[in-house]
Every structure is written in structure tokens, then in C-alpha cells.
Amino acid sequence: MALLEYEALSIALPGMARPVLDGIDLTVSAGEVVALVGESGSGKSVTARAALGLFPAGARLEGQVRVDGTDLVGAEATGLRTVRTAKASMIFQDPRAGINPVRRIGDFLTESLRVSHGWAKDRANARAVELLTAVGLPDPARHLNQYPHELSGGMLQRVMIAGALTAEPRLLLCDEPTTALDVSTQAEIMAILGRLQRERDLGLLLITHDIELAAAACDRIYVMYAGRIVETAPTAELFAAPRHPYTAGLLGSSPPLSAPDGPPARLTPIPGAPMGLLDSASGCSFTARCRFARPGVCDQSPPPLEQHGTALVACYRADDLTDAPATLAPTATVPNSTNREDS
């Protein structure tokens, strides 16, 4: 049984033209690192928060999301508390927004241990020092008495990682954990996460818009667009032969992590803009931006997620793209079928 399972999870908000999430299927097993990749607004963060039972207010929910067998859709407070304090933890994107600025670092790290687990102050402090050491902060005892404004962004992100590990979770949810950091600090944070994941055999879900970062860190990748999974495959296969035009577009518009032998290839941005929640489409949600869209097919109904080798792809032209990605002639672009509705 997978440690984290999304089964046909849909989340809809009142007044929106399309669901925030539309039938998501996703799994993460113990010891596995999985990435969820997509542009801003695709629904990645909502997906991650759902694994803690943090659903948008007023949302209409369908399907299931299970953590270690516990279904969080409609779960009672006791079940949610068990998941949040003993099974799953999240590292949020902005550490300065996740730590109370008027409380000391030690208070942040020991509060859950003292309140939820009943630990004495000395025991909780010793555990906090141990975790700060594990995430590479020197002189951890001194940092316990500091306030967040006294630490750099990279140091605070290390504190966030330590806080996520206080209750020994089996599942770690990382929501853009390196976005606000410089390149060298990003590499350090990812190295720390990788080491801790291997040492503790954690299941890890990495939320990111950087598909190159996902390739360097993850075993499998899910690609999300407009609230739907459009492709998922083992990392090596997805990079070698992307089967969805959106995946190929992400790869073509991302600079590689390693320098090429010859002159760098020209980046090719994806045309247009991502769909908003006030936008809807009768067919594939990527049709208006896709140079391979086939009029009368792609704009009629959403393509199902189907097996193609070891990958799952939601595209009517997946086989064409796989067989001849370099020579396939694009068909005429389908007119934008987006409809706007007032909220």
C-alpha cells in the first residue's frame, strides 16, 4: 500500500468555471521521492495541502486522499491530528511566513513536542538541538534563543526542515522549498533533504515549477496543468521521451542544470498563458496553447489519462509525439475555446 494516495480527488470552489483539482490520481511510497511539476496556478500547492487535510474553505470535495491508510476527506479531528502530528509534515515555500516573528526559534521547534506529545522542556530542547545539527546549522544551542529576523533565508529554511522532522513523520511534503533562495543555497537545501530522506526512508513529495530540479532529485514526476495530471512517468523516461506537448514545452523552456558541451540551445517558451479558475474549455485544457492540437478532436472532450509504455499520458496525440517528436508537423492551432464567467 502506498504511503500517500490520491484517488480521483476533485476540489471545486463556488463561482469558479473549473475545479481547482480535477480527478487527481497520485501515489508516493515509503522511500520514494516524487515530484509534482507545473506552472503557477496549476493546483500544485492545493494538492500538497490536501495531504494534511487542509482544504479551501467552502470547497466541494470528491474522491479520496489517504495518508498511511487514513482518508482525509471528511476525516474527524482525531484522525487529522494523528496525521499532522505523527505521519506527515510540510515544508512551506516561504520560511519567514511560516515562523512566528516574535517567538524564538526554540519555541517554534519545541511547541508541538511539548503540547502534542507531552515532552518535558529539557527533552524537547535536546531534540531541537539534535535536529538543527542534522540540518547543518552550526552552534544549534545558540540558534534556539534567536528570533527569525536574526537568521538568513537559507538558515530559516533549515529551521523549517528541522521543524517538519520533530515528530518523526513518514511523509514529507515540500512546497517549493528552494524558490526564495539563491542558487548555491538551493543546492545545499536539496542536498540536506535528499540525505534526510535516505537516512529516514521517508516518502517525499516535491512541489516545484522547475522540471530540471525535479529531474535531479526525484524517482518519478507528475506533470500538472489546470488542475489535472497530464503526464506521469519515471524521471529518466519522461526526460528522454516526453509524450505530452506541455511536458515537452516545460523541458524546452527550462535551462539545463548542467552546461552543454557545445553552445547552449535556445529556450522555447510555451505560448499564451495558463488557464485561470475563471477559464473553462470543452476539450483538452492545453488546446489553446498547443501547436499539435487537432481541430475537432482535442477541443471536443478532455483526453483520459492512458497507459503508454510505463507512462500515463492525457493526450490524443501521445503516440504521434512519441514516434516522431522531431518531424511531426503541427496542425492548425485550435481557436481559443476558453469561456470567461463572472465569479
| pLDDT for residue 323 is more than 70 | no
What superfamily does domain 4-218 belong to in CATH? P-loop containing nucleotide triphosphate hydrolases (3.40.50.300)
Instruction: Return d(Cα 321, Cα 323) in angstroms, integer.
Output: 6
Task: Give residues with Cβ within 8 angstroms of 333, minimum separation 6.
Answer: 288, 290, 291, 293
Res 327 pLDDT > 70: no
Q: Are strands 33-37 and 4-12 parallel, antiparallel or unpaired?
A: unpaired
Bridge partners (DSSP) of residue 4 are 28, 67
Q: Quick check: 322 pLDDT over 90?
A: no
What integer is the mean pLDDT of 333-340? 39
User: pLDDT band for position 266 (50/70/90)?
Assistant: confident
Whether 110 and 159 have beta carbons less than 8 Å apart is answered as: no
Q: What is the mean pLDDT of residues 171-196?
A: 89
Does the pLDDT at position 26 exceed 50? Answer: yes
CA distance 122 to 115: 14
Find, among 93, 89, 132, the residue nearest to 109 by Cα.
132
How does pLDDT run across 186-205, given as a tens digit for each residue? 889 999 999 999 999 999 99
The pLDDT assigned to 180 comes to: 72
Q: In the chain, what is the straight-line distance between the N-terminal and C-terminal CA atoms, in Å?
A: 40
In the prediction, which pLDDT does 335 show? 39
Task: Kindly state the DSSP code that residue 289 receives in the 8-state scheme.
Answer: G
Instruction: Give the model's pLDDT for residue 238.
Output: 93
Mean pLDDT of the residues in the chain: 88
Domain boundaries, the chain: 4-218, 228-258+270-340
| DSSP classification of residue 307 | E
Mean pLDDT lowest among 50-54, 114-118, 126-130, 270-274: 114-118
Pairwise pLDDT comparison (8 vs 98), residue with the higher score: 8
Mean pLDDT computed over 152-170: 91
Q: With a cut of 50, say whether residue 338 has pLDDT above it.
A: no
**pLDDT beyond 80 at 303:** yes
Backbone angles phi, psi at 312, to 5 degrees: -115, 130
CA distance 101 to 83: 26
Read off the pLDDT band of 336 (50, 70, 90).
very low
Q: Which residues, other chains included, contact 290 with Cβ-Cβ below 8 Å and sequence gap of 6+?
A: 245, 246, 284, 298, 333, 334
Q: Does residue 75 sit in helix, strand or coil?
A: coil
Would you state the pLDDT for residue 339?
39
Q: Are 116 and 167 in contact (CB under 8 A)?
A: yes
Q: What mean pLDDT comes out for the span 315-324?
A: 76
Query: What is the mean pLDDT of the segment spanning 12-37?
Result: 96
Query: Mean pLDDT, to the nearest integer, of 90-103?
Result: 89
92 confidence band (pLDDT: 50, 70, 90): confident
In Å, how far are 155, 272, 336 from 218, measured between CA atoms? 24, 29, 34
128 and 114 Cβ atoms separated by less than 8 Å: no
d(C-alpha 244, C-alpha 72), whole Å: 31
pLDDT at 78 over 60: yes
- Specify the higher pLDDT residue, 254 or 228: 228
Of residues 342 and 161, more confidently modeled: 161
Compute the average pLDDT of residues 16-28.
96
Which three three-digit cell numbers place residue 29?
511510497
